[in-house]
Amino acid sequence: MVTLQNISKTYNKGAIKAVDQVSFKVKKGELFGLIGPDGAGKTSIFRMLTTLLIPDGGVASVNGLDVVTGYKEIRKQVGYMPGKFSLYQDLTVEENLNFFATLFNTTVQENYDLIKEIYVQIEPFKTRRAGKLSGGMKQKLALCCALIHRPTVLFLDEPTTGVDTVSRKEFWDMLKRLKDQGITILVSTPYMDEATLCERIALIQGGKIMSIDTPEAIIKSYPSPLFAVKSSKMSVLLEDLRKQDQVKSSFAFGEFHHLTFKENLPENQQSLLNDLEKLGHTCLEMKEITPTIEDCFIQLMSH
Amino acid sequence: MKNVVIKTDKLTKKFGDFIATDAITFEVYEGEIFGFLGANGAGKTTAMRMLCGLSIPTSGGATIAGFDIYKEAEKIKANIGYMSQKFSLYEDLTVIENIRFFGGVYGLSDKEIKEKSDDLIDLLGLKEESKKLVGSLPLGWKQKLAFSVAIIHDPKIVFLDEPTGGVDPVTRRQFWDLIYEASNRGITIFVTTHYMDEAEYCNRISMMVDGEMKALDTPTNLKKTYNAASMDEVFFELARGAKRQAD
């Protein structure tokens, strides 16, 4: 459905490489995630696929149409929700929705079944101006507007950025239901914990793709056993871990610090615990854990 | 006895009939990393604006760094630092110009500014970039610089409003190293975040729901109280009871 082959984009006459030879495919009906921080190149990729930017190199297609020559047709077939709120702030909820339906030669009634579930949540505010909506409601309205012409492919650029945990969970539930209706979805996010909600993901950093696979497969390919450790003094513990010869990497991770060893030895855990005890750490706790996508991202970044 | 640097008493702000912040009472201790969490629209920003001396409460009171928020707002401003994700540095000034500017705003002498800016540029490894426009720096560097500038005058307290949004996981952790360092120097950190792993890095956490402070405790105790495996679950448990949706 969506294909990129060695796509590149530079800015400032080549001084900034925003997207560097990126290739991947999104299958029909797939929920595909582009996971990476600000400046990774996610928005440039979205803008090239939605025909708003022309690539400097490589080829890309959406629904079999080339993004450069087939732009008119692509625009009719895709829905795009930009990262920055781009609806008309001075129009009401209802007016925005009608406006976007009209642009695509359709009506709200014709495709109401597709947006109904989302729209009923903002319907009580349909006469309110879009600029006066809360963050969560703006996000729902923007999604309705991106869906109103029944697109076959949906591009969502950081739809959950700055949104609290509860609204983020609700939003992902909505995406799953859209996917169940056969819509192909390409979504980007800087939140690593959202990666596991996608069927396949690409981890992206500095314009380059570091890994593409299912979240499970990326986690499985983590190169060494990963351990979590905590003690009564966490900030001192992190400094001490970094001084230990047998420790390869260590970084803070919520309640615990995560670490890997240089060599994979059975006595690793016990010998490290002994060393840390000698350094005065109390309430030590250590266990082997399954890596998260964030662990994988940190590991890939160190290359 | 722990030194109290922030003390509020039924602090309230109303906008017409709408109670944005509803009689919150709490204390923050010197050198503490205090997490201020809540869903969008829970009243965090309004509360923070009052604590920074930028907004006058409707009722209740507070002392910040020993100063009264009604009578001594200007003294509060001189004794705190503030950094937000949205506004922190001037993009069309260079690194060194930003440091000088904020040093001046916070009332440092020319001599102090000179010393501080040299130290800062060394500490952040920005020697090569000191004459570059801030707008051209990667986001992670901007955030580290913004934080350093917010504490350039050694304030008693620094307020951080979602300081780490959008950066990569490695840079985010480097940022927390800076926070720990400042906290070890006795600067109190008052921080909001949407990342629940960062909530774990705080000494204590408060949770705002619909304008009220619904919970305040250490991360360990909060997880016990709510019988939750992670802070994410604690947040979800508390925030899903929220009724209002305003921002």
- Check which CATH number belongs to the domain holding A59 and give it: 3.40.50.300
Q: What pTM value is reported for the model?
A: 0.88
Residue A42 to residue A60: CA distance in whole angstroms: 15
- When CB atoms are compared, the residue of B169, B194, B230 closest to A294 is B169
pLDDT tens per residue across span A141-181 = 999 999 999 999 999 999 988 777 888 888 999 999 999 99
Taking a C-beta distance cutoff of 8 angstroms, is the pair B133, A12 a contact? Answer: no
Q: Is the pLDDT of residue A286 over 80?
A: yes
Residues in chain B closer than 8 A to A40 (CB atoms): 168
B130 C-beta neighbours (distance < 10 Å), count: 16
Angle at B161 between CA B228 and CA A82, to 5 degrees: 90
Q: Domain ranges in chain B?
A: 4-239
Within 8 A of A301 by CB-CB distance, chain B residues are: 168-170
Q: Domain ends where: A174, A202, A220?
A: A220
Both tokens of B205, joined, read 């956490």
The ipTM of this complex is 0.82
Q: CA B186, CA B157: separation in Å to the nearest integer?
A: 9
Task: Identify whether the C-beta of residue B143 lies closer than 8 Å to the C-beta of residue B175.
Answer: yes
Q: Are B67 and B5 in contact (CB under 8 A)?
A: no
Residue B243 contacts A, CB cutoff 8 Å: no
Alpha helices in B38-109 (DSSP H): 44-51, 73-79, 95-105
Residues A11 and A130 in one domain: yes
* Domain match, A176 and A197 both: yes
Contacts of A255 in chain B (CB under 8 A): 200, 219, 230-231
Q: Any idea what the CATH number is for the domain that residue A248 is in?
A: 3.30.70
- The CATH number assigned to the domain with range B4-239 reads 3.40.50.300
Q: B95-105 and B110-124 helices cross at what angle (nearest 10)?
A: 140
Of A179, A185, A186, A108, the closest CA to residue A145 belongs to: A108
Question: What is the three-class DSSP state of A264?
Answer: coil
| pLDDT at res. B246 | 47
* Most B CBs within 10 Å, among A16, A34, A38, A141, to test the B interface: A38
Looking at residue B247, its pLDDT comes to: 45
Over residues A50-65, mean pLDDT: 96
Task: Sort out which chain A residues have CB atoms less than 8 A from B167's CB and list them.
Answer: 37-38, 190
Least confident interval from A55-69, A133-147, A273-287:
A133-147
- Give yes or no: residues A191 and A268 share one domain: no
* B235 chain-A contacts, CB cut-off 8 A: 164-166
The answer to whether residues A213 and A235 belong to one domain is: no
Buried b (16+ CB within 10 A) or exposed e, B115-128: ebbeebbeebebee
Judged on CB neighbours under 10 Å (0-12, 13-18, 19+), B206 is buried
Sheet containing strand B204-209, edge to edge, reads B80-84, B157-161, B188-192, B33-38, B204-209, B212-217
Q: Which helix (H) or strand (E) holds B63?
A: strand B59-64
Nearest of B10, B24, B1 to residue B210 by alpha carbon: B24
- The residue segments making up the domain with residue A57 are 2-220
Task: Compute how many other C-beta atoms are within 10 angstroms of the C-beta atom of residue B134.
Answer: 21
| Together in a domain, A247 and A122 | no
CB A163 to CB B232 under 8 A? no
H or E element in which residue B180 lies: helix B169-184
Q: In which band, very low, low, confident or very high, does the pLDDT at B1 lie, cut at 50, 70 and 90?
A: low
CA distance B119 to chain A (A): 22
Q: Of A220, A239, A255, which closes a domain? A: A220
Domain boundary among A220, A247, A274: A220
- Cα–Cα distance between A68 and A58 in angstroms, integer? 11
Among partner residues A36, A163, A298, which is closest to B40 by beta-carbon distance? A163
Interval B156-205: pLDDT, tens: 999 999 888 888 899 999 999 999 999 989 999 999 988 888 999 999 99
Cβ contact B197–A253 (<8 Å): yes
Number of structural domains in chain A: 2
A→B contacts (Cβ < 8 Å), by residue, are 36-40, 133-137, 161-167, 169, 190, 192-193, 205, 234-235, 251-255, 294, 297-298, 301-302
The answer to whether A134 contacts B40, with C-beta atoms less than 8 Å apart, is yes
- Nearest Cα residue in chain A from B162: A162
Continuous H helices in chain A: 42-49, 71-77, 93-103, 112-122, 135-147, 165-180, 215-220, 234-243, 268-278, 293-301
Say if the Cβ atoms of B165 and A37 lie within 8 Å: no
